[in-house]
Structure 1
Amino acid sequence: MPTRILLEGRPGSGKTTVIRRLAALLRTRRAVGFTTEEIRQGGTRVGFALETLGGGPRAVLAHVDFPGPPRVGRYGVDLGVMKRLAWPPLRSTAADPAPGELVLIDELGRMELTCTAFRDTVRSLFESDIDIVATVHAKSDPFTDALKRRADIELVQVTRANRDTLPADLAARLESR
């Protein structure tokens, strides 16, 4: 049975840090996926950047200056970034996973899920035999709530207290599979 872990936490809890450190610790598994991070100007959050794992391409996913649509809160979302960077490697993995391949997604959030192709691919990944670790907000969302209710999901709370030890614990577990 594949490993399915959702890392749930509030903003600033360390979800992105856990995914990045986990990816860096993996030695016997090839990970595909992406991370996101805030873009700040003068201490104010103005957007979010998306970066593929392994220091791959990076682009601005959402920004207060982007017109949208779609818009999520005060941010316009560039769906082209999802379609060019995040979606293709995940689609390839869903269609033809390499032995030992692992999917790491930061995050299954409102901005990322505005991309229908990405959302459909995530559904396919969760129906496949691929190990997945993904981050989700603690807030309610129909898509992520449905994932959280699945019997094969392990929901792990990310907190300031466990975010430093969690990457090594997850890496050890995933590498032993």
Structure 2
Amino acid sequence: MPTRILLEGRPGVGKSTVVRRLAALLLNRRAVGFTTEEIRQRGARTGFALETVDSGLRAVLAHVDLPGPPRVGRYGVDLGVMERLALPPLRSADPARGELVLIDELGRMELACTAFQDVVRWLFTSEIDIVATVHVKSDPFTDALKRRADIELVQVNRGNRDALPEDLAARFDSP
């Protein structure tokens, strides 16, 4: 049975850092998927970049200067970035190759892409191991995932965020 872990936590607690460190620690397992990172200018957050785990391709997913639609808060979201960068490695994930899917994050910006929602639904019914980050805020899509019996919901906080990457790597990276 595949392992499906949702890392839940408040903004800024370190969920993305946990996923990036997990990907870097894996020695015997190929990770695919994506991470997100804040874009800051003069100390203020102005957007978010998306970067693929396996190839390091990077693009601006959301920014205050992007017109959208869609718009999430003050950010315009470039859904083409989801289509071009995030979806291909997720669609090609193969349990026969022993890949681990990393998704950072299942948030409003990413979920604005209907094709991404479809791929996530497929992944969570496949035989692929998954680690994904989710916000603590209620959302119909992520709430449904959190209620699934096959999901392990892990709370990320300042007390456990530093140890989590090594703990998770030990679970997924056994030779």
TM-score category (smaller protein): over 0.9
Please list, as runs of the form range in 1=range in 2, the aligned pairs for 1:149-160 lying within 5 A after superposition.
149-160=147-158
Q: Which amino acid aligns with 1:171?
A: A
**Structure 2 unaligned spans of 5+:** none
Deviation at 1:44, TM superposition (A): 1.0
Q: Which amino acid aligns with 1:28?
A: N
- Equivalents in 1 of 2:40, 2:28: separation in Å? 35
Deviation at 1:87, TM superposition (A): 0.5
Provide TM-score, normalisation by structure 1.
0.96
Deviates further, 32-41 or 47-56? 47-56
* Match of residue 80 from structure 2: 80
Closer/same/farther in 2, CA of residues 27 and 98 from structure 1, 3 Å limit = same
* Match of residue 100 from structure 2: 102
Deviation at 1:55, TM superposition (A): 5.4
* Match of residue 62 from structure 2: 62
Partner SS state of residue 127, structure 1: coil
Percent identity of the aligned residues? 82
Provide TM-score, normalisation by structure 2.
0.97
Q: Which amino acid aligns with 1:53?
A: V
- Equivalents in 2 of 1:41, 1:99: separation in Å? 40
* Match of residue 136 from structure 1: 134
Root-mean-square deviation over aligned CA pairs = 1.1
- Equivalents in 2 of 1:56, 1:119: separation in Å? 22
Q: Which amino acid aligns with 2:58?
A: R
Deviation at 1:99, TM superposition (A): 2.2
The aligned length equals 175
Deviations 1:47-96 (A, max 9, x none): 00000014511000000111110011110000000000000110111xx4
